[in-house]
Chain A
Amino acid sequence: MTGQEPPSNPHGDDGQNPPDTGQGMTAVSYLLGGMLVWGGIGWLVDHYVGTKGIFAGIGAVVGIAGGVYLIVRRLGA
């Protein structure tokens, strides 16, 4: 198979990634990462302020919103 030339233009359109570049994994990691990072920050704030879970909840929602926004910007049209 090394006798064949590598395809000169493997996709019909140029500039976009092939579909199996792990886009699904990227989407899930943005969602989970957003929730974990901002939920974690919210939990730390909770720990130091002494409330029982409200900041972690707000952090999780904000993190999910950020993750969805990132997916729309990076993987969207």
Chain B
Amino acid sequence: MIGQSTVLAAEFPPSVEDFYLPSILPWGAHDSYWFTKITLLVWVAVALIIIFFLVSYRKPQLVPTKKQWLAESLYGFVRNNIAVEMIGARGVAFAPYLTTLFCFILLNNLFSIVPLIQISPNSHIAFPAILAVISYVMFIYVGIRHHGGFFKYMKAALIPPAPWFILPLLIPIEFFSNFMVRPFSLAVRLFANMFAGHMLLLVFTLGGFAMVSANVWFTPFSIVSWIMTIALTFLEFLVIVLQAYVFTVLTASYVQGALADEH
């Protein structure tokens, strides 16, 4: 992105085309998006998480070393404050999945503000969509196994406490809200936040360069624009952590709803 700015003036305002990065393998091929910087970033994130947790647990000691303390803090935070808080005592069984989800989303989101990387894989709808589908399948499967059958789970999840004659009115609403809005909103919330954050940073950065290259007397405005970029990067950091937390908390809450017995 730093290299592109010198040929810039034609590229402002930024558009969706800026999210289609050039392909790495084959190098520079047209219209080929199988292996780009985004794919490389996802592989790097997965490798980092696996290596970090494996290395910090290689020789666990009772008084933890610094790396072990960091890994234990991450897991303890998700287990105590998300899994057990939402699901209760059974939440400990879901804590590994929730920790992995939280770390993966957080690391991918963080790539959006690290210099020289500056793009998050979560700003392409595919990655949040797959994560939402995994959480969706998981809470339905947990519900089916807890209630003992697909129709028993549907009966428990879809019938609200209401008199029998208005049930036909309410059951389509419950179905739509429980089984269609939930995964869609999980995916779109994460995607829209990452997309909009990246677009904001692009607007202020490229706008600064566009103003300077249009008229050299606009330089003070460009400097204000770049200061806004720095301020927005801090805001973006807050949004990043919050979105990872919200995705994990909502997944835990849906699992808790599937495991709940009668109100």
Contacts and interface: CB of A to CB of B under 8 A. Distances in A.
Chains A and B come from one and the same complex: yes
Interface of A: 1-4, 6-7, 10, 17-18, 20-22, 25-26, 29-30, 32-34, 36-38, 41, 62-63, 66-67, 69-70, 73-74
Interface of B is mostly: helix
Contact of B80 (A7, A18, A36, A62): A7
Nearest to A65: B169
Contact of A37 (B75, B173, B250, B253): B173
Given A4-B76, A6-B80, A38 B172 contact: yes
Contacts of B161: 73-74
Contacts of B85: 7, 10, 18
Interface residues of B, number: 30
B160 A73 contact: yes
B253 A66 contact: no
Contacts of A69: 162, 166, 170
Interface of A is mostly: helix
Interface in B65-79: 72-73, 75-77, 79
Nearest to A63: B173
B256 interface: yes
B50 interface: no
B185 interface: yes
Interface stretch (B34-42, B107-115, B174-182): B174-182
Contacts of B176: 33, 36-37
